[in-house]
Amino acid sequence: MFGRRRVNDSLAHVGRIHAADRDTALVLARETHFRHNEAVDYAVVRSDQLHHVDDKSILERHVDIDYRLQAGYSGFRDKRAAAREAAERRGMTDLQTRPAPGRDVSSEST
Amino acid sequence: MTTVRAATGLAVPALDSPRAQLLLVLGDDDLVNGHRASHWTGVAPAIELDLAFATIAQDGVNHADLWYQLIVTDELSSDDDHVRVAVDAIGLGRQPDRYRHAILCERPPRDIAFSLARHIVVDHVVAVRLSVLQGSSDPAIAGLATKLAWEQRYHLQHADHWLARLAGAGGEHRRRLEDALAVVVAEAQGLFEPFDGEEEVVADGLLPVDHREIRARWVEAMTPVFDGLGLADLLAIDTVPDEASGGRCGRHSPDFTDDLWPEMTALYRSDPGASW
């Protein structure tokens, strides 16, 4: 069973229903999963229509993939400040702050 | 507590007016039918049917509460303590012979085929009645009928679904449903018996049409439903068996007086007027 909480929400899995066919599932789902105003829309898919990935080992990771995760960027501000200081100590004083994306640099210089 | 209890005896409003009698017919059918449907809560053949049927049963009791409120006051006021006390007194504080529901509603659940057959037949009668009452000259009755008709749509969807499934399945499913429907449709004719005050409420437009016309509209509504499933012959039944006649006048069977009524009212009678 999938339900949509609000009109613009995506369908989200809410659980299962045991029923002999599609129509029975749709009639009974209202009370099984949506009896407390949980949804503005719902849908059912036969469980044998779900195609599971055969080789679940392809989900395993054996190397560090921190750079793909938000957690890999924690403390970024401090790291950047430290890098800047180190660069200045080495005399790299012309290190520029990059303009924020979308800012029109040419108009700023006037 | 003592004052509430003392007041309870006075809280039952006069139930003799034609308007009150109409509201009792509507409320009592829903209340008693709801109680009998609630039998399946926890023991239905499947958990999903259990949940759906429990809701339908609860709706029946709730709808009865709402009809009774209109006996006490002109507009719905569920939160008013005086209304609550009076509604409980109407629903649970009457002697069995003051109830106006049809005898079909009080029959024990027997098996799931019987309960579903009663659900199919009675909920269609209720739907026709709600549609008629939306044209009531009493704005409170018309307004409530409109609200309840909205909820009634799920009852009909659920009822018609099981009718089609069981009748279409053939074999034992079909046979047991047919046997149950034969009994239920015959006893359902008791729903169309006139009640005290019916002539007055029809003349005043509170109930826009009488029991004969309600029956005719019910037959009209059921015809396409039964026709497609080869069950149209059931609609030729137009006489009520003696033992299922008289509910509208307060003549009830032992299924009510000795079974459902004592159980349904036991808690209320243990401490009338208590707030639960």
CB contact under 8 A, A17 and B48: yes
- The pLDDT score that the predictor gives to residue B33 is 98
Using the Cβ of B46 and the Cβ atoms of chain A, whether some distance falls under 8 Å is answered with yes
What confidence tier does A70 reach under pLDDT thresholds 50, 70, 90? confident
- The pLDDT score that the predictor gives to residue A103 is 62
The size of the A-B interface in CB pairs under 8 A is: 32
Q: Please say if the pLDDT value at position A65 is more than 80.
A: no
- The residue type at B128: V
- Assigned domain for B1 exists: no
Q: Domain of B60: which CATH number? A: 1.20.1260.10
Please determine, for the modelled complex, whether the ipTM score is greater than 0.95.
no
Question: Which residues neighbour A37 within 8 Å (Cβ) at sequence distance 6 or greater?
Answer: none
Residue (of B218, B78, B221) closest to B147 by Cα position:
B78
Using the Cβ of B268 and the Cβ atoms of chain A, whether some distance falls under 8 Å is answered with no
CB contact under 8 A, A30 and B161: no
Tens of pLDDT, residue by residue over A7-20, are 999 999 999 999 99
Using DSSP, state whether B141 is helix, strand or coil. helix
- The residue type at B197: G
- Assigned domain for B2 exists: no
- Per-residue exposure over B173-193, b if at least 16 CB sit within 10 Å of its own CB, e if not: ebebbbebbebbbbbbbbbbb
Q: Which residue does chain B place closest to A35, by CA atoms?
A: B55
pLDDT beneath 50: ranges in chain B? 1-11
d(CA B208, CA A105): 78
Q: Taking the CA atoms of A48, A53, A59 and A60 in sequence, report the sign of the dihedral they define.
A: positive
CA-CA distances (angstroms) from residue B57 to A26, A108, B53, B116, B137?
Answer: 20, 72, 6, 12, 29
- Assigned domain for B177 exists: yes
- The residue type at A72: G
Q: What are phi and psi of B275, to 5 degrees?
A: -100, 120
- Mutate one of A27, A33, A37 to test the B interface: name it (highest B CB count within 10 A): A27
- The pLDDT score that the predictor gives to residue A90 is 83
- The pLDDT score that the predictor gives to residue A79 is 84
Contacts of A23 in chain B (CB under 8 A): 161
- The pLDDT score that the predictor gives to residue A86 is 85
Q: Please say if the pLDDT value at position A107 is more than 80.
A: no
Using the Cβ of B157 and the Cβ atoms of chain A, whether some distance falls under 8 Å is answered with yes
- Assigned domain for B81 exists: yes
Please give the residue range of the domain that contains residue B153: 18-270
Q: Please say if the pLDDT value at position A67 is more than 80.
A: no
Element (H, E) at A13: strand A12-13
Q: B1 or A106, which is more confident?
A: A106
The pair of three-digit structure tokens given for residue B162, joined into one six-digit string? 């099981």
- Cβ proximity of A44 and A1 under 8 Å: yes
For helices A22-33 and B139-169, the axis angle rounded to 10 degrees is 140
CB contact under 8 A, A32 and B47: yes
Q: How far apart are the first and last CA of chain B?
A: 12
Least confident piece of the model among A40-49, A55-64, B152-161, B169-178: A55-64
Question: Which residues neighbour B13 within 8 Å (Cβ) at sequence distance 6 or greater?
Answer: B20, B71, B72, B86, B90
Residue (of B98, B91, B73) closest to B196 by Cα position:
B98
- Assigned domain for B150 exists: yes
Residue (of B158, B157, B175) closest to B166 by Cα position:
B175
Tens of pLDDT, residue by residue over A77-102, are 888 888 888 888 888 766 666 666 66
- Assigned domain for B198 exists: yes
The minimal CB distance from A27 to the residues B46, B54, B161 is found for: B161
- Assigned domain for B4 exists: no
Q: How far is B55 from chain A (nearest CA, A)?
A: 7
Q: What are phi and psi of B113, to 5 degrees?
A: -65, -45
Q: How many CB atoms sit inside 10 A of residue B102's CB?
A: 29
Domain count, chain B: 1
Q: What angle do CA B100, B104, B108 make, to 5 degrees?
A: 115
What confidence tier does A71 reach under pLDDT thresholds 50, 70, 90? confident
Q: Which residue does chain B place closest to A19, by CA atoms?
A: B48
- The pLDDT score that the predictor gives to residue B198 is 97
Q: How many CB atoms sit inside 10 A of residue B74's CB?
A: 11
B256: left (phi over 0), alpha (psi -120 to 50) or beta: alpha
